[in-house]
Amino acid sequence: MGSPRSSGGIVCTGSGSTSTERESGKKFGDPANPLLVSCRSGAKFSMPGMMDTVLNIRLNDQTAQGMIALTSDAHFVYDAYRRLVQMFGSVVMGVADEPFEEALTDFRARRGVKSDSDLSAEDLKAVKDELKKIVKAQTGREFPADPMAQLKLAIEAVFKSWNGKCAVDYRNAAKIPHDLGTAVNIVTMVFGNMDSRCGISQASADLLVESVVGKTLDEMKALSKDDILGMLGIELGPVRLKCALLSLKVLKAGVYGLEEIEEELR
């Protein structure tokens, strides 16, 4: 969808909406075939993990039912929905992480399971509703059901994260100018968690593609395992690490191949 334009705090996203809908075959807010998106930073220089991200934007009670009809997987849909409420509540609405984590811990304890993935679809639906109550209690505002309101507020939050402490400290350490600013990229969601197979390779590929925009061949060649892990922001075991590094291996193969082609054309 590209990078939204911002002028005086007014965010313009309409120009890319129809093309994204056309290419994906989905529509924003359509209960029957909803288009879900993520909202990510698009700064000139990569700052792994320093800027805010919001996933699963435009899920609400109506589009969730459409997703269930399309996927026949209520567990996946309600897991994605509760993740949106939790991430949106924290990143966009300023709710502390602890109340959300306490609610999840309580549900797991009541069901006698150790992992969120072991909760049933009905459990996850109840978790989603409980997290919405936490948002209202902590902020005095309802979690926004309107898809466009979700998107606008997420865009504003990502822009504001440019001046967050982590981002400022990172730029100071990396000697990145503070006046560069950032774009915000609206990206169609691709889900790697619809079944038990590892989706980490898809996540690392998405993040890597965003990070190499505007980079030279030398800068892409310099990317390492540590960069990938920094983008993901999680610890990985040997098997998942292998999956996470697949996109980097493909990139390196392509970069060195492109370099050889350029040499031949000189």
Give the least confident one: 115-119, 148-152, 245-249. 245-249
Report yes or no: 47 and 167 within 8 Å, Cβ to Cβ: yes
Q: Is 66 helix (H, G, I), strand (E, B) or coil?
A: helix
Do 84 and 133 share a domain, yes or no?
yes
Do 75 and 177 share a domain, yes or no?
yes
Query: How far is Cα 13 from Cα 5, in angstroms, rounded to an integer?
Result: 7
pLDDT tens digits for range 60-99: 999 999 999 988 889 989 999 999 999 999 999 999 999 9
Task: Provide the pLDDT for residue 21.
Answer: 75
- Out of 174, 191, 208, pick the residue that ends a domain: 191
Task: Provide the pLDDT for residue 87.
Answer: 94
Q: Is 31 exposed, middle or buried (0-12, 13-18, 19+ CB in 10 A)?
A: middle
Report yes or no: 152 and 140 within 8 Å, Cβ to Cβ: no
Query: How far is Cα 232 from Cα 198, in angstroms, rounded to an integer?
Result: 14
Do 162 and 262 share a domain, yes or no?
no
Query: How far is Cα 113 from Cα 202, in angstroms, rounded to an integer?
Result: 27
Domain that holds residue 241: 198-266
**What is the average per-residue pLDDT within 222-227?**
87
- Out of 191, 222, 241, pick the residue that ends a domain: 191
Could you tell me which residue, 263 or 163, shows the higher pLDDT?
A: 163
Number of domains in the chain: 2
Q: Which helix (H) or strand (E) holds 241?
A: helix 238-244
- Out of 150, 170, 191, pick the residue that ends a domain: 191
- CATH classification at residue 217: 3.90.1010.10
Do 157 and 236 share a domain, yes or no?
no
Could you tell me which residue, 197 or 174, shows the higher pLDDT?
A: 174
Report yes or no: 199 and 192 within 8 Å, Cβ to Cβ: yes
Could you tell me which residue, 239 or 123, shows the higher pLDDT?
A: 123
**What is the average per-residue pLDDT within 142-167?**
93
Identity of the amino acid at 131: L
Do 126 and 214 share a domain, yes or no?
no
Do 154 and 28 share a domain, yes or no?
yes
Cα distances from 113 to residues 30, 98, 104, 116, in angstroms, run 35, 19, 11, 8
Do 208 and 170 share a domain, yes or no?
no
**What is the average per-residue pLDDT within 177-203?**
73
Task: Provide the pLDDT for residue 158.
Answer: 92
Do 43 and 169 share a domain, yes or no?
yes
What average pLDDT does the structure give for the chain? Answer: 82
Do 28 and 99 share a domain, yes or no?
yes
What are the b/e assignments for 40-57, b being 16+ CB within 10 Å?
bbbbebbbbbbbbbbbbb
**What is the average per-residue pLDDT within 12-32?**
68
Do 55 and 83 share a domain, yes or no?
yes
Q: Over 80: is that where the pLDDT of 199 sits?
A: no
Do 228 and 106 share a domain, yes or no?
no
Report yes or no: 49 and 233 within 8 Å, Cβ to Cβ: yes
pLDDT tens digits for range 112-144: 998 888 899 999 999 999 999 999 999 999 999
